[in-house]
Amino acid sequence: MLTLRPATERGHADHGWLDSWHSFSFADYHDPEHMGYSALRVINDDRIAKGGGFGAHPHRDMEIITYILKGAIGHKDSMGNGSVIRPGDVQRMSAGTGVVHSEANAADGETRLLQIWILPRSRGGAPGYEQIHFDDMDLRNKLRLVASPDGREGSVRIQQDATIYAGRLDAGTTVQHPLDAGRHAYLQVAEGSLKLNGTLLKEGDGAMLEKEAALKLEAVTGTEALLFDLP
């Protein structure tokens, strides 16, 4: 079963320096029908203007993954980490018992990113940080594992029985992903358009899947997408 989450039906907030689309309830956007999906709690599609950013603010009990589509983000946190995150980088911050961080546009123009929150398997864990770069060949015309519970295949490690795959697909490319019995999947199209099990998805669209044996992605145009395999 596939349920479409159209881009135009997402929550939206325009703060001038930040233009943000929310796939699930977040901040002032509250939709009881879209509070998350399985362990996936937040997907925010953020466009941050030059000079903009999020000042120091706290988080706890959440696995936070940042995926840059364009530009760069400067990150600092109370664990002593400081880095710049660019396209191809996957950053994971485990908030655990509590962490404070800030994020600022580090590019000369607009930065666009997906920020993802995943509920951890248990509360109160130790905060942690990890950042790994995947070059274009890692992601081109495949679904590349970028986050997993055990950090396999060079992925960042998350504290949940969930895996995240990223792919940059050329037009006409087809890739598949098996879905084990009882598992759920969520696909987010970041750029371009594709068919998912025959259903057309365009930029910003998402789709929830369950009781499917496999996912078949057919790129209609050049496409970048994230796939979440969830409990």
Provide the residue-wise pLDDT of the chain in tens; the chain has 231 residues.
999 999 999 999 999 999 999 999 999 999 999 999 999 999 999 999 999 999 999 999 999 999 999 999 999 999 999 999 999 999 999 999 999 999 999 999 999 999 999 999 999 999 999 999 999 999 999 999 999 999 999 999 999 999 999 999 999 999 999 999 999 999 999 999 999 999 999 999 999 999 999 999 999 999 999 999 999
Q: Which residues contact 48 (CB under 8 A, 6 or more apart)?
A: 17, 18, 71, 73, 105, 110, 111, 112, 113
One-letter amino acid at 180 equals D
Summarize pLDDT for 199-211 with one digit per residue, the tens: 999 999 999 999 9
Strands (E), 128-213: 128-133, 144-148, 156-157, 163-169, 174-178, 184-191, 193-196, 199-202, 206-210
pTM of the complete model beyond 0.95: yes
Domains and CATH numbers, the chain: 2-230 (2.60.120.10)
- Tokens linked to 36: 């998350």
